[in-house]
Amino acid sequence: MARIVMKFGGTSVADISRIRNVARHVKREVDSGHEVAVVVSAMSGKTNELVSWTREASPMHDAREYDAVVASGEQVTSGLLAIALQNIGVNARSWQGWQIPIRTDNAHGAARILDIDGTELISRFKQGQVAVIAGFQGIGPDNRIATLGRGGSDTSAVAIAAAVKADRCDIYTDVDGVYTTDPRIEPKARRMNRISFEEMLEMASLGAKVLQVRSVELAMVHGVRTFVRSSFVEPDAPGMADFDNPPGTLICDEDEIVEQQVVTGIAYAKDEAQISLRRVADRPGVAAGIFGPLAEANINVDMIVQNISEDGKSTDMTFTVPSADIDKALAVLEKIRPEIGFDAVQHDAGMSKISVIGIGMRSHAGVAATAFKALADKGINIRAITTSEIKISILIDGPYTELAVRTLHSVYGLDKQ
């Protein structure tokens, strides 16, 4: 017998028929003798509808009331799933975030989980009851409902799994696992059986939409083994009840991965913008003077490249921001221009960032050179490069995105293993 947290996203609970299907998945685990908690998102499209209502009511709405409205989607789903489970003979009860309680900070709309008391949930496990928990929400220090930001139900599930010391957290979604790259771009992309926390964190932060970044961070910190599975596979299909090797992708510590590939996957992020500051004064504090105001304006700066100053007086600095933020970023830079001192600002939108990821890079040389040569052979120009211990990110012109992804996926043999 194991303790499992099962999480189902919006497409998995989009209507009553799909909620009934989710109930069958839950019943399968209960019938196998496992202790089960379930975390649910709002029904597909419902959160967007609730957000639009708050904006229609008032463009400058109170964040606490916004949370009260948008959190209701998960409340509806948790109640409906509890009813569906009871209807097929499963002892189930719905829970809201504040009832557990899931305690968060006071950042309404983007709260972070501070603590979860799993005592009551564990006592219900002992009674054979399934807890159906509304994801995405908790209770802030002001005793008001606080939501965790879009995609926050993944974070809720991992945090609850950590709090109740679950053996595994199963994330059910509309895909059947984590792939070596986007199958819509490269049909030869393969589903991975296992991927390390670090690799998944890089893939999630670099464009892979399978899991929310914060949920992967939390799983890595607390060592929560996380399984990505499909809710659209029939609940009684072969292998679905196999606890040790169900179909899907296990995200775990790298020590659990026997054969570590040099490259695990290729991720990409479109709609990047490149900004270059020419002849920036080369003195201490200049970088802080540039990136501090951008951070205060909530502009996410990604790749940063600074040229070496030849004369010790000026240098060039290049970085990327989301294309949607380029006008805001340029306005911030013009405001600080007199204080910082730079001659010109150049910018290009429509860039894409292609990333090569793999824990095997730590012990293998030549990974970057292979990527550069492969792209050069296809006539793809590289605008900027950044690296880390397990990642190489390359900035290219947007129209070459799909060609670059397919090229790198092939050159590292990811379509053959």
Q: Is 174 annotated as a binding residue?
A: yes
Q: Is 207 annotated as a binding residue?
A: no
Q: Is 191 annotated as a binding residue?
A: no
Q: Is 173 annotated as a binding residue?
A: yes
Q: Is 129 helix (H, G, I), strand (E, B) or coil?
A: coil
Q: Is 172 annotated as a binding residue?
A: no
Distance CA 2, CA 385 (A): 45
Question: Closest by alpha carbon to 115, among 165, 163, 154?
Answer: 163
Q: Is 177 annotated as a binding residue?
A: no
Q: Going edge to edge, which strands form the sheet with 391-397?
A: 304-306, 314-322, 265-281, 344-357, 391-397, 384-388
Q: Is 8 annotated as a binding residue?
A: yes
Q: Phi and psi at residue 233, in whole multiples of 5°?
A: -80, 140
Q: Is 379 annotated as a binding residue?
A: no
Q: Is 343 annotated as a binding residue?
A: no
Q: For residue 101, is the peptide bond before it cis, meaning its omega torsion is within 30 degrees of 0?
A: yes
Q: Is 56 annotated as a binding residue?
A: no
Amino acid in position 49? E
Angle 178-79-93 from CA coordinates, rounded to 5° = 95
Distance CA 204, CA 224 (A): 17
User: What's CA 49's distance to the chain center, in Å?
Assistant: 22
Q: Is 9 annotated as a binding residue?
A: yes
Distance CA 209, CA 156 (A): 17
Distance CA 388, CA 229 (A): 29
In the block, which residue shows the tokens 């009851």?
Answer: 129
Question: Closest by alpha carbon to 113, among 94, 135, 86, 83?
Answer: 135
Name the binding residues for ATP: 7-10, 173-174, 179, 184, 209-210
Q: Which residues are annotated as a binding site for substrate?
A: 47, 74
Binding residues: 7-10, 47, 74, 173-174, 179, 184, 209-210
